[in-house]
């Protein structure tokens, strides 16, 4: 029994020593790809909009064409590919036809009384930039961001 304990202890020490002697490899990390093309390079960093201008999107059905003005000089054209409704929220996803790869996700969340909050993004995983809906003092705008600010790989 004593020999078994000594043998096990020797094996453990040998393995620990051998593990320390192995070269340490860095784990591969998904680094942000700064070479991705910008989809919205022709547009400003901030685009003011009224959520009321997008509410009609929530009434459309999948397969319907969409042509909506987001802000001055920015028209988003596409096809409604997904829709979701429940008692507290409504959401649509629109696949762009004029900005290939981009999808507009627009959501209305109903609050107490007649209040509502709006969330959304215009995003393409093939590109390095995107827009996200931001609200400040009940004023909404699309803010341009790096895709890596919005997602993590």
Residues 19-67 pLDDT 10s: 565 555 655 556 677 788 999 999 999 999 999 999 999 999 999 999 9
- Domain region containing 77: 46-150
Give the mean pLDDT of 130-141: 94
Give the mean pLDDT of 106-121: 93
Contact by Cβ (8 Å): 28, 118: no
Q: Based on the structure, what is the number of domains in the chain?
A: 1
Per-residue pLDDT tens over the stretch 84-108: 999 899 999 999 999 999 999 999 9
- pLDDT of 5 reads 62
- pLDDT of 151 reads 81
Contact by Cβ (8 Å): 46, 142: yes
Average pLDDT, the chain: 86
Token reading at 17 = 């020593």
Distance CA 98, CA 95 (A): 9
Residue 2 lies in a domain: no
Contact by Cβ (8 Å): 130, 38: no
Residue 144 lies in a domain: yes
């Amino acid at each position: 029994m004593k020999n078994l304990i000594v043998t096990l202890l020797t094996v453990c020490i040998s393995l620990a020593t051998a593990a320390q002697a192995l070269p340490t490899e860095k784990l591969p990390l998904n680094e942000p790809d700064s070479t991705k093309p910008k989809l919205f390079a022709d547009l400003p960093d901030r685009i003011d909009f009224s959520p009321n201008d997008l509410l009609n999107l929530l009434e459309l059905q999948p397969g319907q064409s969409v042509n909506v003005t987001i802000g001055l000089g920015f028209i988003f054209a596409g096809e409604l590919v997904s829709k979701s409704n429940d008692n507290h929220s409504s959401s649509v996803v629109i696949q762009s036809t004029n900005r290939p790869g981009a999808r507009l996700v627009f959501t209305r969340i109903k609050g107490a009384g007649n209040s509502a909050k709006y969330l959304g993004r215009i995003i393409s995983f093939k590109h390095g930039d995107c827009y996200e809906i931001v609200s400040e003092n009940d004023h909404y705008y699309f803010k341009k961001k790096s895709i890596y600010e919005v997602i993590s790989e």
